[in-house]
Amino acid sequence: MPGILFKTIIMRKNPFGIAFILLSAGINLNAQNQNHFTTEGKKVIVYTTADSTNLRLATTDTLSFADFDQPLETQPSIFVDPSHTFQTFLGIGGALTDAAAETFAKLPADKQAEILQNYFDPEKGIGYTIGRINMNSCDFSSDSYTYVNEGDKELKSFNIAHDEKFKIPLIKQAIEKTGGKIHLFISPWSPPEWMKDNNDMLHGGKLKTEFYQSWANYYIKYIQALEKHGIPVWGLTVQNEPMAKQTWESCMYTAEEEKNFIKNYLGPTLQKNNFSSKKLIAWDHNRDLLYQRASALLNDAQTAKYIWGIGFHWYESWNGGLQFENVKRVAESFPNKELLLTEGCNSPFSWNTIDDWKWGEEYGLNMLHDFNNGAVAWTDWNVLLDEQGGPNHVGNFCFAPVHAKTKEGTLHYMNSFYYIGHFSKFIRPGAKRIISSSNRAQLLTTAFINTNGKLVVIVMNPTGERFSYRMYLGKKAVLSTSLPHSIVTLVI
């Protein structure tokens, strides 16, 4: 059956009032595949977000390919090669925390609808396809809570009535907005205090060995409870930040302790309850110890068989800088396991700095490097916070891509929202990463080819310099411009 050719031109204003054009070049959807890409008859649509302009995910150009000679060293260039494909893209999303849900509930209906559309609608919004859910309370909850009565080792009192007020309604609306096409995973910050050696959900502590099985059963209970509410759980992480003794909910595991818990308790318990299909994600902490933890777990076959992937965060800069190479080391050593960023955010919160351009650039920098080093997915922290950078019961306030002034019923979109959107809106689940190589350190780039044959190239310029550059596909190229402190997505 021949492929379907289509061409659309749609004029509209985006949700933020900026006029733009969506162009879809004629593509033979069945004949085009991810390994054989031709520039013949193709146009390049350029979407731009740039500092000191009103450009936010705005269509700024339509380019045509032409013949170009060998580039000189003096000519900034991006070289895209679709003939080699790498990891399969899973998606991008954010955390549907208590804080996000409580803030969402305080908004008027039209602003709630706006949030849902702008995050989860793939056409009118930025197309999130991942959501993270806290199991028990976290710092971004208004209080500390669990789902069982104190001392109930058998979990007979288990219920999630706490989540039914704010969190579950938000999650269900997100599911509806994506048409059910969202991967939801749960993460615990701490077991109940009576299961821990410090008798405190906060300030670190460890899970007592006599409660290992009860705690493994707890995940099962939570997954079952969510699914009774029509919330399908795709996966789970073992423990949020298992090497951090925090002032908020936290619980510490060494590599050996996490291995023991997965191998002898959590893994078998998932299997026993017919939840082997749930994606078990280990580590869920920073890139600094990423290889050490991954190797300890994945070099043990009896542990590795239960693990789908390794999650990581981006907060290691406190010890000297970001360590993107550790993502690559794990990808190289364990190619049969997946890698994904499970949390990242900027802090400390302040309205005085909320529009600083660096916040978006930090997202762009991290996402580009993580995907180029083998990550299949990327999950931001809170999707929505209030005018204080919370609510947060320990005062650990931070930024989210969108903040609400709840008393006024207004929303403020940070530039980070648009930087994320340059990836999430255009790279869709099932895409394959391909090579995009830059001859300028000032121009950062990554590229993917979607299952429908559309090629997506992202170019980020974190400098104050303006660049004219060529984007090459073989011997064909288009001439484009990178504005100072900008990110562009080129869709071919």
| DSSP 8-state symbol, 263 | I
From CA 190, how far away is CA 180, in angstroms rounded?
29
Catalytic residue among 102, 241, 258, 338: 241
CB atoms within 10 A of CB 314: 25
Q: Which residues contact 196 (CB under 8 A, 6 or more apart)?
A: 190, 205, 206, 207, 208, 251
Other beta carbons within 10 angstroms of residue 74's beta carbon come to 6
Alpha helices by DSSP H, 299-428: 301-304, 325-333, 358-372, 415-424
- Name the DSSP letter for residue 210: G
Query: Which three-class secondary structure state does DSSP give residue 44?
Result: strand
Q: Which of 102, 343, 361, 362 is catalytic?
A: 343
- Max CA pair span of the chain: 74
CB contact at 8 A, 276 and 305: no
* Nearest Cα to Cα of residue 489 among 451, 454, 463, 452: 454
Owner of token pair 């059910």:
180
14 exposure class (CB count in 10 Å sphere: 0-12, 13-18, 19+) = middle
Backbone angles phi, psi at 267, to 5 degrees: -60, -55
Angle at CA of residue 321, ends 318 and 327, nearest 5°:
110
For residue 378, give the H/E element and its range.
Answer: strand 377-382
Known active-site residue 114: no
Catalytic residues: 241, 343
